[in-house]
Amino acid sequence: MNDETESMLAEQLSRIPPEAWPLIETALRLTAVVTVVWLALTLFIQLRRNASNLTPVNAARKNKADQPDFLTVDESARKDALERADQFESQLAKQEEAEARAARELLSRKPASMAQRAFRALSFLMSLFSLLTMIFGSIWQIGRMGSLMKEYSTVERLVAVIQNNPISFTVALLVCVYAIWSFVQSQSDKKALA
Q: pLDDT at residue 1 above 60?
A: no
Domain membership of residue 45 (yes or no) is yes
43: containing domain: 7-58
How much is the pLDDT for 132? Answer: 78
Cα 110 to its chain centre, rounded Å, is 42
The answer to whether 190 touches 174, Cβ cutoff 8 Å, is no
Is residue 127 included in any domain, yes or no? no
Q: Is the pLDDT of residue 50 over 60?
A: yes
Q: Phi then psi for 61, rounded to 5 degrees?
A: -120, 150
Reported residue count of the chain is 194
Q: Containing H/E element for 91? A: helix 75-108
- Identify the band that residue 192 occupies on the pLDDT scale cut at 50, 70 and 90: low
- Total domains present in the chain: 1
Residue 140 in any domain: the answer is: no
155 lies in some domain: no
Residue 44 placed within a domain: yes
**What pLDDT is recorded for position 68?**
64
Q: What is the pLDDT of residue 32?
A: 93
Distance from chain centroid for Cα 138: 35
Classified as helix, coil or strand, 111 is coil
What's the DSSP call for residue 109?
S
35 in any annotated domain: yes
Please state at what angle helix 154-164 crosses helix 166-193, rounded to 10 degrees: 100
pLDDT top residue among 3 and 86: 86
CA 143 to chain centre: 41
User: Does some domain include residue 28?
Assistant: yes
> What tens digit of pLDDT does each residue of 122-173 get?
888 888 888 778 777 777 777 766 666 677 777 777 787 788 888 888 888 8
**pLDDT for 57 beyond 80:** no
% residues pLDDT > 90 (the chain)? 19
DSSP character at residue 53 = T
Residue 36 falls within a domain, yes or no?
Answer: yes
Q: How confident is the model at residue 183 (pLDDT cuts 50, 70, 90)?
A: confident
Are the C-beta atoms of residues 112 and 120 closer than 8 Å to each other?
yes
Cα–Cα dist 125/183, whole Å: 37
